[in-house]
Amino acid sequence: MTVFHPATGLAVGSFGVGTYRLPGGRPFPAIVLADGTVIDVSGDYVDTHAIFDDWDRALDRFADLAAKGQGSDLRFEAIECLPPLAHPNLLGAGSNYRQHVAEMMTHNKFNQDQRLAGESDEAFFQRNLAEVDRRASEGMPFIWTGLHSSLAGANDDIVLPLIGENPDWELELGVVVAGSGRYLRPDETESLIAGYVIVNDLGTVDEFRRVDIKFGYDWMSKHQPSFKPFGPFIVPKQFVKRDEIRINLKVNGETMQDWPVTDMIFSPEQMLSYATERLRLLPGDLLITGSPPGNAGSHGGRWLRPGDVVESSLDYLGRQRNRVVAEDAGGRSPTFGAFKTSW
């Protein structure tokens, strides 16, 4: 049975890789042991991007340091957790949890024209679930690209911007890449995966659709500053039993998301295979793999508000804690404002 250390949430015997800072100090790359010991590795690597460029040798070096487990007075609870990677290419999976997608297809407005006359929610849900399963066997992943300027540390504040009325959470499993390739099969892309990490993919859901452009969708507002709490560390895949991971998110102590990652429609390996057909993956790229059910809309529209506290965890990968605050825009106001929903 896996034992998780209370100091970090890491499995005993494992470690994580991240970027940290002491009060008033400069960022440095480090490994974090399960007991909270932090080992600065800036003497070997200038930052974590350099680590993932040299992943195989770095992993051997870190395993040796972790086995010795001594010579450092740094403690995890005394340092600031920065985003583990400063500027990764960001790839995001959409519509990738079976239950979540079928629920959205059943209850959201966009799909109501597919409901049969007099059809109950349960009957419609079962038809939508069958459609999801068809996509899993005959379709392909959906991946969008993001901005690393939206990344925040694991314990940073979530800053609600001036634009958007319905800020929502989506806690997800992140995958960090340590390789590249083109037209790789899913059975080949497992070798690209370096490790796993927590990412909360926030967005203002009233800012996804607009009527002043014909294709109607605009996801730019998913990338507001602080909308991607990331970390506190990347855990090498050798330490993670992925099928045992549950995604858990609480707002003010109330559980909102609690779901196994095994409900994914497309696995990380399938999504990376798809990505190699359409772009060039680089070491340090971050793939977030989609959200399970439990978003604010399924809790009666319980959107985030200033004063909330979001607590998140994934087994093997540690935890996050974020206060929700309003943006201080210094007296400035938007020029364009919210998207137009009528024309």
331 domain-assigned: no
Same domain membership, residue 293 and residue 198: yes
**Helices 121-138 + 98-107 axis angle, to 10:** 130
Same domain membership, residue 214 and residue 179: yes
Same domain membership, residue 163 and residue 145: yes
335 domain-assigned: no
340 domain-assigned: no
334 domain-assigned: no
State the greatest distance between any 2 C-alpha atoms of the chain, in Å, as a whole number.
70
Sign of CA dihedral 105, 111, 116, 119: positive
Give the predicted TM-score (pTM) of the model: 0.96
343 domain-assigned: no
333 domain-assigned: no
228 domain-assigned: yes
At 102, the amino acid letter reads A
Distance CA 122, CA 334 (A): 43
Digits of tens for pLDDT over the chain (343 positions)?
899 999 999 999 999 999 999 999 999 999 999 999 999 999 999 999 999 999 999 999 999 999 987 678 999 999 999 999 999 999 999 999 999 888 888 888 888 999 999 999 999 889 989 999 999 999 999 999 999 999 999 999 999 999 999 999 999 999 999 999 999 999 999 999 999 999 999 999 899 888 888 877 888 889 999 999 999 999 999 999 999 999 999 999 999 999 999 999 999 999 999 999 999 999 999 999 999 999 998 999 999 999 999 999 999 999 999 999 999 999 999 999 998 888 8
Same domain membership, residue 316 and residue 229: yes
Same domain membership, residue 191 and residue 108: no
DSSP 157-221: PEEEPSS-S-EE--EEEEEEE----SS--HHHHGGGEEEEEEEE--EEGGGSB-SSSTT-B--GG
Q: Which of 241, 294, 290, 244 is nearest to 270 (CA)?
A: 290
Same domain membership, residue 103 and residue 74: no
339 domain-assigned: no
Determine the pLDDT at residue 70. Answer: 66
How far, rounded to the nearest angstrom, does the alpha carbon of residue 42 sit from its chain's CA centroid?
26
What is the extent of the structural domain holding 122?
Answer: 98-140
Decide: 88 and 285 in contact? Cβ < 8 Å.
Answer: yes
Same domain membership, residue 239 and residue 118: no
Same domain membership, residue 242 and residue 281: yes
Same domain membership, residue 271 and residue 133: no
Distance CA 181, CA 194 (A): 14
* DSSP run (H or E) holding 248: strand 246-251
For the domain that residue 159 is a member of, what is the CATH number? 3.90.850.10
Same domain membership, residue 105 and residue 37: no
Q: Which of 277, 271, 285, 288 is nearest to 222 (CA)?
A: 288
Determine the pLDDT at residue 213. Answer: 86
Domain count, the chain: 3
Same domain membership, residue 60 and residue 123: no
Determine the pLDDT at residue 72. Answer: 86
**Number of neighbouring beta carbons within 10 Å of residue 161:** 17
Same domain membership, residue 289 and residue 197: yes
- Torsion angle of alpha carbons 21, 23, 26, 29, nearest 10°? -20
